[in-house]
């Protein structure tokens, strides 16, 4: 279950990303890139694709049984190259 509120919706909308796109990316076998610790909270950074093929980074945290999207944004050129290379290699 995804957890949404005005705060995280505002953050993704600032990057012109819709809630559905962030959720699709997480449901389309995203690639875990790294885990970070932000003030004691583990955040997971994923690269993946929407159903329409848009390449996104989606940062999430786990809150109980829910997944909370912290933010999402389009991959930059370097991130795109890394993602596509790793996918081609079978990751």
Full 3-state SS string of 32-75: EEEEEEECCEEEEEEEEECCCCCEEEEEEEEECCEEEEEEEEEC
Which pLDDT score, from 0 to 100, does residue 90 have?
A: 86
Residue 40's region, left for phi above 0, alpha for psi from -120 to 50, else beta, is left
The predicted pLDDT at position 6 comes to 96
- Structural domain count of the chain: 1
Give the model confidence (pLDDT) of 36-89 as tens digits.
999 999 999 999 999 999 999 999 999 999 999 999 999 999 999 999 999 999
Contact criterion met (CB below 8 Å) for 57 and 45: yes
How confident is the model over 4-21, as pLDDT tens digits?
A: 999 999 999 999 999 999
Residue 34 token pair? 């790294």
* pLDDT recorded at residue 91: 79
Q: Please tell me the predicted confidence (pLDDT) of residue 19.
A: 97
The pLDDT, as a whole number, for residue 12 is 98
User: What is the extent of the structural domain holding 57?
Assistant: 2-88
């Amino acid at each position: 279950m995804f957890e949404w509120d005005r705060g995280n919706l505002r953050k993704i909308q600032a990057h012109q990303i819709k809630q559905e796109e962030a959720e699709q990316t997480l449901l389309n076998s995203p690639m875990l890139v790294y885990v970070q610790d932000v003030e004691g909270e583990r955040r997971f950074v994923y690269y993946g694709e929407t159903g329409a093929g848009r390449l996104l980074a989606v940062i999430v945290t786990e809150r109980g049984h829910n997944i909370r999207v912290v933010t999402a944004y389009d991959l930059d050129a370097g991130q795109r190259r890394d993602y596509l290379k790793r996918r081609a290699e079978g990751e």
